[in-house]
Amino acid sequence: MSFLLACPHCGLRDVNEFASAGEVTERPRTSPSVHELSSYVYFRRNTAGVQREWWYHRFGCEAWFLAERDTRTNEVLTTELPRPQPRQGSAAPQEAAAPDVPEV
């Protein structure tokens, strides 16, 4: 698999400079059920089409960013930096829905 990916900081680069962290998932609520927690940990949608993913520019600026990629063609439609996470209790509901940055 070889294609170009646009880092929000560095621009177009070979995909081998990046690490993929998979599709964006939403963290379950504060006290999830066993089913919600196991779904969050083990199951992915595995979309055949456009999916939102986490990427890390490991051999560049080391930034985490989001990309929309068509999994059938590897065409990357957009890349963007994640929005900052609001502090707990001070966020509007739509801002609180921003995905978590995965750990390395």
Does residue 82 touch Zn ion according to CB under 5 A?
Answer: no
Does residue 60 touch Zn ion according to CB under 5 A?
Answer: yes
Tell me which DSSP letter residue 15 carries. G
**Amino acid identity at 58:** R
**Amino acid identity at 93:** P
Within 8 A by CB and 6+ apart from 40, the residues are 25, 26, 27, 28, 32
Q: Give the range of 27-35, 38-46, 53-61, 77-85 binding Zn ion by CB under 5 A.
A: 53-61
CB of 2 to Zn ion, least distance (A): 18
CB of 4 to Zn ion, least distance (A): 13
Does residue 5 touch Zn ion according to CB under 5 A?
Answer: no
